[in-house]
Amino acid sequence: MAEESSKKEVKAEDKAVTNFREYLRIKTVHPEPDYDGAIAFLQRMAAELDLPFRTVEVSPGRKIVIMTWEGEDPTLPTILLNSHTDVVPVFPEEWKVDPFSAEKLENGDIYARGTQVSITNQKQYIEAIRKLKKAGKKLKRTIHLTFVPDEEIGGVLGMKLFVKHEEFKKLNIGFALDEGLANPKDAYTVFYGERCCWWLHVICHGNPGHGSRFIENTAAEKVRRIINKFLDFRGEEEKKLKSSGCLTLGEVTTINMTMLKGGIQINVVPNELSVGFDIRIPPAVDLVEFEGKIKTWCAEAGEDVKYEFAQKGVDQTLTSTDESDPWWKAFSTACETVGVPIEKEVFPAGTDCRFLREAGYPALGFSPMNNTPILLHDHNEFLNEDVYLKGIDAYCTIIPALANVQ
């Protein structure tokens, strides 16, 4: 008996955590995400919650899942809880566990790709609604949960198409929530805007020739000047961020060189080289003026230097965080009720929120994950089960607050 009593009792895992771990094991990882597996899982969740379930194919093989919890007044503009089902690739050799095992350590940390992105939001939405329905809660406005594909590769065949679809317009959205980021401190971060994403290639043409000679006016010389211009500006913005003490990443412009292409043979000076840059521009920056800067850099690099956009975001819409705004007031007051402070920021990367805001819908990026290092897309991405469960409880307060806005 003494031996038995000395044994540490194993705490039973919360069903919401078990469901979460099961979902994380579905390999919705690019380049071949198992969307069918995710849809089957979500359909099962909808059945458990007794919610209508349907899919809308916006592009071949790309389906939007919609669950709906009808409110007491279906004529009112509705609340959208959006999330994406895909995740980015992994480098398994860099992980301490199988990145799709959803292994849980003794301290409750759950390791898996997707624990800090929209996969978590999806399950927290679902589990919050499960608890609200079980408690007999009635909401004034209808809640729509949407689960979209391809967000991690730009959302071009996902939310970008969906917001233009007739089925989306029928949802009568008044306000939306989408994913955010973890916060290492005891606070939640809420994102009211995003930086514009510009992906561009600068193509430099020059004189070709034999690799043994001093060829004049080469493409390589021009590429070097371009790289220097872009990365010098990058250095200025990085210095601004580090020296200010008050700016966040979403308030400065980042530039990263991501591609370098060209050449046909090691002893042949090429007549063309190109360099690719990923640029993220905050809402306060004048986009026309910034593109003018790029034109100047190209002109100064030499003749026959041009640039082409692979992606050019131009919408700088911000969602109101003024206390007079009823949506913001409901959201912020609910967070106060939860007892976790919120920090307002511009999202440094890109989410499907940009398509919602561009289409005229107020949307906030929010993931209730505090006291958690930011590890999305990183090796050994994890989330503690207690943080996950507290996030569900936070949504149990936030969702009714938004759905009952007068």
Map 226-251 to HEC letters.
HHHHHHHHHHHHHHHHHHHCCCCHHH
Q: Which entry of 4, 14, 73, 86 is annotated as an active-site residue?
A: 86
Q: Sign of the C-alpha dihedral, residues 242, 243, 247, 252?
A: negative
Q: Active-site residue 166, yes or no?
A: no
Helix, coil or strand: residue 375: coil
* Alpha-carbon distances of 243 from 238, 239, 256, 380, rounded to whole Å: 9, 6, 20, 30
Which strands make up the sheet holding 382-384, listed edge to edge? 103-104, 109-111, 382-384
Tell me if 281 sits within 8 A of 198, measured CB to CB. Answer: yes
Could you tell me where the DSSP H helices lie in 261-377?
A: 287-301, 326-338, 353-358
> From the candidates 32, 73, 98, 151, which is the catalytic residue?
151
Q: By the 8 A CB rule, do 84 and 148 touch?
A: yes
CA 384 to chain centre: 20
User: Is residue 363 a contact partner of residue 176, using CB atoms and an 8 Å limit?
Assistant: yes
Range 3-10 contact pairs with CB under 8 angstroms and sequence separation of 24 or more: none
Residue 32 annotated to the active site: no
Active site residues: 86, 151
